[in-house]
Structure 1
Amino acid sequence: METVVGLHRNHFGEIISFVTSGGRIISYQKALLEAANGVIKGVQATEDHDGKLILSPELEHTFDQYPNLF
């Protein structure tokens, strides 16, 4: 099972895609689907206070510890 090892942010600092341990670069939306389906471990799909699905790391509160890879 793959894990998230890095991410890509836009110039506003927003996460736009993730890098997996398998070398794939997947969009935020695809990562959300894969986390919800248990394809990627270490992240989880949760609802924010508005009911919108968001990704969050299972052990940390933010993705700040992940490197911004290009």
Structure 2
Amino acid sequence: MDATNRETFVAVQKNGDGDLTAFQTSTGRVLDYQQALAEVKSGAISGVNVFKGRDGEMYIRGDADGDPTNNLDQLPPF
């Protein structure tokens, strides 16, 4: 799958602490965090990657491109 036909995240849901809990894709699908994590790992979502935090857990983050406006935290809520 090349980047042109991979989905992207266009909106997010956050909990009361501001942590990301769900994602909406460019095709309108809604994924909870674990579903999104699996899809990012499989390469189905463009513009993001998975990293292992200091706590040993896996997390989703936007690809570093120097543009803070497309960070996951900056996406609109849904």
Could you say which TM-score interval applies, normalised by the shorter chain?
0.7 to 0.9
1:16 maps to 21
1:38 to 24, 29, 43: 43
1:54 maps to 59
* Structure with the higher fraction of residues in strand conformation: 1
What secondary structure is seen at the aligned counterpart in 2 of 1:40?
Answer: coil
1:67 maps to 76
C-alpha distance 36-12 of structure 1, shift in aligned 2 (>3 A):
same
Q: Which runs of 5+ in 2 are unaligned?
A: 1-5
RMSD: 1.6
* Matched residue count: 69
1:7-66 deviation per Cα after TM superposition (whole angstroms, max 9, x unaligned): 011222221100000100100111101000001111111111222100000136752221
* Structure with the higher fraction of residues in helix conformation: 2
Q: Which runs of 5+ in 1 are unaligned?
A: none
TM value normalised by structure 1 = 0.86
What letter is aligned with 1:16?
T
